[in-house]
Structure 1
Amino acid sequence: MSNESTRSSNTVLDAESLAESFPEYEQQLQETAVQAASDADTVPPGEVLPDVLAEQLEYDLYTHQAEALRTLKDGSNVSVATSTSSGKTWVYALYFALRKLENPDARGLFLYPTKALSAGQQEALNGLFDQLGVDARAETYDGDTDQDRKQIIRERVDVPISNFAGINQYLDAHQKWRAVFANCELVVIDEAHTYSGVHGMHVSWVIRRLRRLLDHYGADPQLVCTTATIGNPAEHARLLTGAAFDVIADDGSPHGRREIAFWQPPLQDDGDVVDTVGDSPLPAMRKSTASEAASVLAHLTNHDMQTLMFTDSRQGTEISVKRAIENASAHPASRTDTEYAPYHAGLSQGKREATENALRAGEVDGVVSTSALELGIDIGTMDATVISGYPGTRQSFWQRIGRAGRGTSNSLAVYVPETDGVDQYILDNPAYLLGDNIEDAVVTLSNNPVFAQHVLCAASERPLTRADADWFGPEDRLERAVEMWADAGQMGGSLDRGAQYSGTARPQSEISIYTTSGEQYEVRQTDGEIDMEPLDKERVYRQYHPGAIVVYDGQQYEVQAVVEDTYRPYVEVESTNTRNYTQAIHTKTIDNLSVDRTRSLGNGYQLAAGVGRVVTDYSAYNVVDMFEGTVEEPMVPIDLPPISIRTQLMWISFPDRIIDRVRAAVPTNDYLTPDADSDFVALGECEYTLAGGLHGGEHGMIKMSPLELRLDNDDLGGLSQLAHPEVESPVWFIHDAVEGGVGFAHSIYDNFEAVAERTRERIAQCDCGRTDGCPACLMSSQCGNQNEPLHRTAATELLDAALAQLRDED
């Protein structure tokens, strides 16, 4: 199925053949870019390795591998920031083999982001150790490891392989790990670019807790981070670990010819509906990106191209597999033996491993995955990838398309954009995606709730003293955390005498490294058994509320109940069979503002950054036809309490007289009028139009911030109001979407002018021709007000006014 002579888009995706071979082809193929093949740049292994190791290698080393080994031999920590499938594993495997030759007692600790990746790396590492003739073994140690095997691994295995969720738990019993910790000479943090946002914050503190205990046992191991190509590998590694790194980024690995096709979903036929604003259809909108991507997947697999499609939700993988099966059967080149499978972290380990094995063996034609297969799990050599919607960063985009055509094999990638602003900007400006400028990975240590959780864990592992400011400083911040926990009855003593944990339960068990809250919900099936990982609270309220229709492992379920008045909260589901799915609607308030920084722009305009309380109430949901996109049942009530977080935010406030500027700029026949049943019915036309401008400016800046600030706008939320009770003037807020914040909203404050200019350009130049905009400029699928109201001209005028004040200030 997969082969070295992967078909070119000239034979599979050219316009002439598509007109005949692709069902309902409507000029979706917009452009094709070609990345030429590149030869390897190599170094004889004997230049950096002793003969006893070099003579065992069948091939020369890539130049980046050799340079990394030289740097490690000089005693430095190394961050290897090269492309997918560039042999980064060989760097730390060879270096550990070298350490093992010099010190037979040397131990290592290799840490990976997922269990699936750990399992694959165990086999690869042991194969390499065998090839080198080195007496060393690696073995996975995680929650799936048999209890009677764990002690053997800790005491005898040279390289325990684990993940940070596990390490967080194991540090409480660090005495059991004495043999590993006291002799540890190398710690590896693989796929380090994945540790960002909330996850990155937790991992950063877990690493500091780990390094603190290694220091206690007298070890000072070197550190190796491996990462995809990112913009700030040295800074990211330092923030992640607290140590300095040398960066190896000059990639010597080869790659085959790669074609990247840009595929725009066609406009809907007259009378069809794919998006709505409230109950009103949007005419002439484009067909669903996910549906179109599934059609491309079916087209490629029916032309014997083993294809991996990426989508950004677990439910999306399941729906896309169903669509691909239907599309494949209706395709002119239909085959009777085409096989598809979903892949995401919610599936059991056994199901994921079965899909991985089927990919390697060529027994499955197409797989639809979340980011779970973005990492270096061995799935063989794919022919093609399909990217359904921009994944949020250029680094992630290149990581995903790099899963096909590994080594010198040729490959094809098809990018199917959403109708959102960033996707349409990229379609209009492909050079943005194809250029060399890659986003920075973002880690912040400023989130106090997360910091405090890990300080409590550290105190349970060893008493905290002032010397621990080296790991958890500055000292005054550490002291405040200790005092807080002492007041809560969870810690005794002081930094002068040793602050110790005094609670009853293990604090490590309260940490979920993917959320700022440890609360997790089990999923139970009332009419059978379901093998599904727990869900966090926000996802339960958004996707698994009572009445929600979800898809898991190819089966549809309807949520019967959410049970929270118990020690272990859970969700009850029941199997069903329907063509519908559900989308939650929410309302939001922001209050209890505390200003950290402010910038007066003059004439009543003000920028501010601070913290505040954000309360989100998932109050209703729509039942949507998954194939047509039509709303079948609107605004079905959800009986769940609101979710409250205190987080970082920024806002811009306008003088009350801004309404006069909007009134002058907007033609009278373009004023918005609220519907009789609208929440805004009390507003006059001019006030309602101003509200649409504020709402549009908020949406636009959230949409466009990833282009300027290299972040994922899923990590942000917003709110606009004509007169916020604390600000007392027209305002829009942008906030981080997690408890405590991750620094993104404050970055927008710091770079407001650049983001505002990008936003203004996109809104003004959008060719939708609609007063209230479209998904490519103003509309958002996450809007709790169902995109009501929005006004393009008013939003542009507000941005122009703010930018003029900024320029006058300068």
Structure 2
Amino acid sequence: IVNPPVVNPQLGIRSSALLTGQRIAERLIRDGVQTIAFARSRTAVEILTTYLRESIPAPPGHPSPIHGYRGGYLPNERRAIEAGLRDGRIRGVVATNALELGIDIGGLDAAISVGYPGTIASTWQQMGRSGRRAGTSVSVMVASSAPIDQFLATHPDYFFDRSPEHGRINPDNLHLLLDHLKASAFELPVPAAERFGLDETPMLLDVLEEDGFLRRAGDDRYYWSQENFPASAFSLRSAAQENVVIIDETGDRPRVIGEVDLFAAPMLVHEQAIYIHAGRQFHVDRLDWDERKAYVRAVDVDYYTDADLGVTLKVLDAFEEQHGTDGALRAHGEVMVAWHATLFKKIKLHTHENVGWGPITLPEQQMHTTGAWIVPPASVVERFDRETLDGALIGLARVARSAAALLLMCDARDVGVLAQAQAPHTLRPTLFLYDAVPGGVGLAERLHQLNAELITACARMVGDCECPDGCPSCVGPIAEVGVRGKGACLELLASLAA
């Protein structure tokens, strides 16, 4: 585990995990070591690929020995990269978890995870991509400044001594249940009286018939009525089944170069975005949201774009509420989460400085899921002015996401977090944690049950950090949480633990 050094002790800022990973990968590839580097996002994959291609240029007349690999590439692109890794023509590949398992890419000599992959299971899978042949191999995890990464860097026994996570699923999740019924009907006709574990199954079969997926025959059974294999439309990593197709209009004839899932499209292919594909930059000229098509053209610029997301949450039903003294509350129930991309920033390559911005105007997306929420005692909240309270809530939300992931042994991206100074449901400062999956899979309910452990883990993460007033490794930088943000966050946590 490599923890980049602190470069600004006053602000607690560490050297970039991405640039540290680049230096390690560059050294290995130059020394003839076939290397795979994993990054946490599609944008990070493309940026790291760009940096490595610049530092290790292709020989004259030959293709680059460095390639990116992620979801959204066309199948023929992915197969060519996999073949190049097996036969040794490709010396370095930068990938998302799309290359983590299930794909034969031969035996590599080095694996680098830029940032904690999110789960212990994913980390072992990524590390296991190296060392499949006789001889020396190396696996490296480069810690980012995120609280969960810093916790693992300073408590490595948590990683090395813990077993991998258990898969968590809610079989009653409507989205998953409908997909199961589709797959079942493809294998064998489903009797109309089939319960499939739920009394509502006959109604769901009727819905699938109305939508054209099933056909009810005279023998009172439902038959699969589509030509396509249903499982081909299911994702192991996302509940979104719609994609936006990316069309390159640079040449004489438009051509499809990739796709992106509907949830991520507002962040990656909004108008004026710089979409990076296989190390090449494309400017998004137009996004046809209704037709699910993004039209791009090749450009050569010295920046990339990064979008900000605005999130709102509405409580639909409280399943359980536990009231404490002085207005304290913890509860869980059904929530509706809405989000939309609000603006994009232009980030200069290499220096990562902000060189511009622009608005994003796209429809809001919504998701029904399950959530848990926590309200601190009124007497503690009254100690802070609004600016200090906002900073404390920002810090609490930041550290709660990492603490929740450690407690549940899940990816931090599986849990959504939102802090509101005056939540519409409670009219009080409230911390919400919700399943980042349509319908929910039980994460928020479990956090509700583990409330005391969650608060203790948050307090430990914040209290163990050596910074005086806040930094990216705990509650966030002072510029975001304010000078009193860290102390106020600890006061909130102490009141919630009482």
- TM-score category (smaller protein): 0.7 to 0.9
Aligned-residue offset at 1:627: 0.9
Asked if 1:727 is matched to 2:426, the reply is: yes
Aligned-residue offset at 1:394: 1.2
Separation in 2, partners of 1:463, 1:353: 36
Match in the other structure for 1:342:
68
Aligned-residue offset at 1:726: 1.8
DSSP-derived class of the 2:445 partner: helix
Match in the other structure for 1:307:
35
Match in the other structure for 1:546:
271
DSSP-derived class of the 2:78 partner: helix
Match in the other structure for 2:144:
418
Q: Deviations for 1:4-41, whole angstroms, at most 9, x for unmatched residues? A: xxxxxxxxxxxxxxxxxxxxxxxxxxxxxxxxxxxxxx
Separation in 2, partners of 1:614, 1:749: 18
Separation in 1, partners of 2:360, 2:451: 36
Q: Deviations for 1:95-118, whole angstroms, at most 9, x for unmatched residues? A: xxxxxxxxxxxxxxxxxxxxxxxx
DSSP-derived class of the 1:774 partner: coil
The 1:453–1:361 alpha-carbon spacing in structure 2 relative to 1, beyond 3 Å, is closer
Separation in 1, partners of 2:231, 2:31: 49
Any conservation in 1 of the 2:4–2:15 contact (CA below 8 Å)?
yes
Q: Deviations for 1:79-127, whole angstroms, at most 9, x for unmatched residues? A: xxxxxxxxxxxxxxxxxxxxxxxxxxxxxxxxxxxxxxxxxxxxxxxxx
Asked if 1:465 is matched to 2:192, the reply is: yes
Q: Deviations for 1:249-285, whole angstroms, at most 9, x for unmatched residues? A: xxxxxxxxxxxxx322234479xxxxxxxxxxx9562
Match in the other structure for 2:473:
776
Structure 1 residue corresponding to 2:3, chosen from 257, 264, 269? 264
Separation in 2, partners of 1:488, 1:521: 22
The 1:312–1:376 alpha-carbon spacing in structure 2 relative to 1, beyond 3 Å, is same
Match in the other structure for 1:656:
378
DSSP-derived class of the 1:443 partner: coil
Match in the other structure for 2:489:
795
Aligned-residue offset at 1:509: 9.4
Aligned identity (percent) is 26
DSSP-derived class of the 1:524 partner: strand
Asked if 1:286 is matched to 2:25, the reply is: no
Match in the other structure for 1:91:
none
Residue 388 of structure 2 aligns to which amino acid in structure 1?
A: T
Match in the other structure for 2:466:
767
Separation in 2, partners of 1:648, 1:602: 25
The 5-angstrom pairing of residues 123-272 of structure 1 reads 262-268=1-7
Q: Deviations for 1:344-383, whole angstroms, at most 9, x for unmatched residues? A: 2333333333333333333332221222222143333322
Q: Deviations for 1:428-458, whole angstroms, at most 9, x for unmatched residues? A: 1112222243222222213123324544675
Q: Which consecutive residues of structure 1, in runs of 5 or more, have no partner in the other structure?
A: 1-261, 271-281, 330-335, 664-685, 781-785, 805-810
Q: Which consecutive residues of structure 2, in runs of 5 or more, have no partner in the other structure?
A: none
Aligned-residue offset at 1:507: 11
Residue 27 of structure 2 aligns to which amino acid in structure 1?
A: H
Any conservation in 1 of the 2:12–2:473 contact (CA below 8 Å)?
no
Q: Deviations for 1:674-730, whole angstroms, at most 9, x for unmatched residues? A: xxxxxxxxxxxx122123222322221112222221111112222222222222222
DSSP-derived class of the 1:534 partner: strand
The 5-angstrom pairing of residues 414-563 of structure 1 reads 414-452=140-178, 454-455=180-181, 462-466=189-193, 468-469=194-195, 472-474=196-198, 476-479=199-202, 481-482=204-205, 498=220, 500=222, 508=230, 512-513=234-235, 515-528=238-251, 529-563=254-288
The 5-angstrom pairing of residues 539-618 of structure 1 reads 539-566=264-291, 569-618=292-341
Asked if 1:319 is matched to 2:43, the reply is: no
Residue 707 of structure 1 aligns to which amino acid in structure 2?
A: L
The 1:507–1:638 alpha-carbon spacing in structure 2 relative to 1, beyond 3 Å, is farther
Separation in 2, partners of 1:392, 1:742: 17
Asked if 1:393 is matched to 2:90, the reply is: no
Any conservation in 1 of the 2:328–2:378 contact (CA below 8 Å)?
no
Q: Deviations for 1:604-628, whole angstroms, at most 9, x for unmatched residues? A: 2221111111111211111111211
Q: Deviations for 1:772-797, whole angstroms, at most 9, x for unmatched residues? A: x22211239xxxxx956782112111
Which range is displaced more, 741-750 or 508-517? 508-517
Aligned-residue offset at 1:409: 3.1
Aligned-residue offset at 1:499: 6.6
Separation in 2, partners of 1:564, 1:338: 34
Aligned-residue offset at 1:485: 6.5
Match in the other structure for 2:391:
692
DSSP-derived class of the 2:67 partner: strand
Separation in 2, partners of 1:448, 1:364: 43
Structure 2 residue corresponding to 1:379, chosen from 93, 101, 105? 105
Match in the other structure for 1:257:
none
Separation in 2, partners of 1:450, 1:480: 15
DSSP-derived class of the 1:618 partner: strand
The 1:517–1:706 alpha-carbon spacing in structure 2 relative to 1, beyond 3 Å, is closer
Separation in 2, partners of 1:359, 1:380: 7
Aligned-residue offset at 1:533: 3.8
TM-score normalised to structure 1 length: 0.56
Residue 50 of structure 2 aligns to which amino acid in structure 1?
A: K
Question: Which of the pair has more CA radius of gyration?
Answer: 1
Q: Deviations for 1:738-765, whole angstroms, at most 9, x for unmatched residues? A: 3212222222112122122111111122
Separation in 2, partners of 1:616, 1:739: 13
Separation in 2, partners of 1:392, 1:491: 38
Q: Deviations for 1:160-205, whole angstroms, at most 9, x for unmatched residues? A: xxxxxxxxxxxxxxxxxxxxxxxxxxxxxxxxxxxxxxxxxxxxxx
Any conservation in 1 of the 2:392–2:481 contact (CA below 8 Å)?
no
Any conservation in 2 of the 1:267–1:285 contact (CA below 8 Å)?
yes
Separation in 2, partners of 1:539, 1:310: 19
Structure 1 residue corresponding to 2:362, chosen from 634, 640, 648? 640
Separation in 1, partners of 2:162, 2:446: 23
Larger strand percent: 2
TM-score normalised to structure 2 length: 0.88
Separation in 2, partners of 1:291, 1:702: 25
Separation in 1, partners of 2:386, 2:398: 18
Any conservation in 1 of the 2:377–2:495 contact (CA below 8 Å)?
no
Residue 192 of structure 2 aligns to which amino acid in structure 1?
A: T
Aligned-residue offset at 1:490: 8.9
Larger helix percent: 1
CA RMSD of aligned residues (A): 3.3
DSSP-derived class of the 1:532 partner: strand
Match in the other structure for 1:234:
none
DSSP-derived class of the 1:263 partner: coil
Separation in 1, partners of 2:279, 2:262: 23
Aligned-residue offset at 1:597: 2.3
DSSP-derived class of the 2:130 partner: coil
Aligned-residue offset at 1:493: 8.1
Residue 526 of structure 1 aligns to which amino acid in structure 2?
A: E
Q: Deviations for 1:403-441, whole angstroms, at most 9, x for unmatched residues? A: 111154331112211110111111111122222432222
Separation in 2, partners of 1:403, 1:652: 41
DSSP-derived class of the 1:442 partner: coil
Match in the other structure for 1:628:
351
Residue 294 of structure 1 aligns to which amino acid in structure 2?
A: Q
The 1:368–1:449 alpha-carbon spacing in structure 2 relative to 1, beyond 3 Å, is closer
Residue 473 of structure 1 aligns to which amino acid in structure 2?
A: G
Match in the other structure for 2:26:
298
Separation in 2, partners of 1:632, 1:300: 33
